[in-house]
Structure 1
Amino acid sequence: MKTLYLVRHGETLFNVEHKIQGWCDSPLTQNGINQATQLGEFFKKIHLDHAYSSTSERCCDTTELILQNCMPYTRLKDLKEQNFGAFEGESEDLNPQTPKDYETFFLPYGGESSNTVGKRMLTCLTSIMTKPDNGQVLAVSHSGACFNFLRMLQDPTEELQKGFSNGTIFVYHFDQNQFQLAKVIRNFK
């Protein structure tokens, strides 16, 4: 059985300012840097075969702080957050109220549907985990992308209610081309 560690990036300036990030980007805060450094301490105890990151700066910076130059990583566009179109950089107050509303809300504004994100993540992560030498894998992504990936596998309501804070680790087992959520680590210290 293989293991995927899917991690949400560290806290960013837009997280603090409650702005919609999506495909736009903002830097890690000092707290985000600290979170990523603590994640690095957590992952020192785990042998990783490969590491992957969304191409967003906030994920690449988080990945680099986790890996501490101990191994290279691959940047993949398919691990990016949902594109929120014209809402990028705007207040989170403009977001839809329920996960169901995210499915098509952003399409008229140049964004993508949450179903597209979930399918993109599922295809990407399945491709990663089916590689023969990928037994234990780190992938750093985003809150919405992690949520929509989980939504492709199971009802995410219970996990959503607990929150997907910055630095959350989703541990998935991968066997016979199927993902199974094993646990969610919200306090990784």
Structure 2
Amino acid sequence: MTKIYLVRHGETTWNADARAQGSKDVALSERGRLQAQLLAKRMKNYHIDHIFSSDLIRAYETASIIAGGFQSEVNQIHGFREMSFGEWEGLTNDEIKQNYDTHFKIWRSQPHKAQIPGGEMLLDVQKRGLQALHQLVNQYEGQSILIVSHGTALKAILLGLLDIDLSYFYKIRQDNTCINLVEFRDYGPVVVTLNDTAHTENILY
């Protein structure tokens, strides 16, 4: 049985400001590094054979902090990077609402149909994410793999593994440094854990 730990990166300053990050390379905040350190301490209780991340710095930095506990290297994979939000990147939710009201309403009500100016479609994010994931599952059959990715990308991947339509995108929550455990068994993928953030419960907000 192959185990996949799908993890969201730690908090960035843009997360705290509710800014759309997408393909922008935003580093972890001090709080985000603390979250990653707590996650790394927790992950020492598990057996991990390989660690991968998106090619964006916030995911790679999170994965590198975890990898330090395993004395392992982190390999970056483009397929796990966050959805490109095009012209929205760097803007707060309020700024997006003000300047892109029609597109924003579609994104919030029918995310699978949203065409963000200059950005990706949610389906395209899901396709590249699932392709990258299945390549690793096939390559490292029977092993345990940790992948650090992003909120939107992870939700799209999880919905795909569950055969749930992307229209249910907002039915899943992915907090910073959450753990999602997926076991690939003989009859297919099984989501064992979803949005587990027990390691960050004692951080003061």
What is the identity, as a one-letter code, of the residue corresponding to 2:193? K
Instruction: Give the RMSD, CA atoms, in angstroms.
Output: 2.3
Q: TM-score, normalised by structure 2?
A: 0.83
The residue identity in structure 1 corresponding to 2:18 is H
Q: Is 1:81 the counterpart of 2:82 in the alignment?
A: yes
> Matches of residues 101-180 of structure 1 in structure 2 within 5 Å?
101-107=110-116, 109-132=117-140, 135-154=143-162, 155=164, 161=171, 163-176=173-186, 178-180=188-190
Q: Which runs of 4+ in 1 moved over 3 A?
A: 95-100, 155-162
- Length-normalised TM-score, structure 1: 0.89
2:194 is the alignment partner of 1:188 = no
Conservation of the 8 A alpha-carbon contact between 2:110 and 2:167: no
**Cross-structure match for 2:92:** 91
CA–CA distance in structure 2, aligned partners of residues 62 and 16 of structure 1 = 17
Give structure 1 stretches of 5+ with no counterpart. Answer: none
5+ residue gaps, structure 2: 98-103, 201-205
**Bigger Rg over Cα:** 2
Percent of paired sites with the same residue: 27
Change (3 A) 1:157 1:168: farther
1:30 paired to 2:41: no
Contact 1:106 1:113 (C-alpha < 8 Å) held by counterparts: yes
Alpha-carbon deviations, 1:77-127, whole Å to 9, x = none?
1000101111111112327355663324235x1111111111111111010
| Residue 73 of structure 2 corresponds to residue 72 of structure 1 | yes
CA distance in 2, matches of 1:79, 1:177: 24
- Which residue is 2:101 aligned to? none
Residue correspondences, number: 188
Write the distance in 1 (CA, Å) between the matches of 2:112 and 2:47: 37
* CA offset digits 1:123-163 (Å, max 9, x no partner): 11010111146610000000000000012123489995563
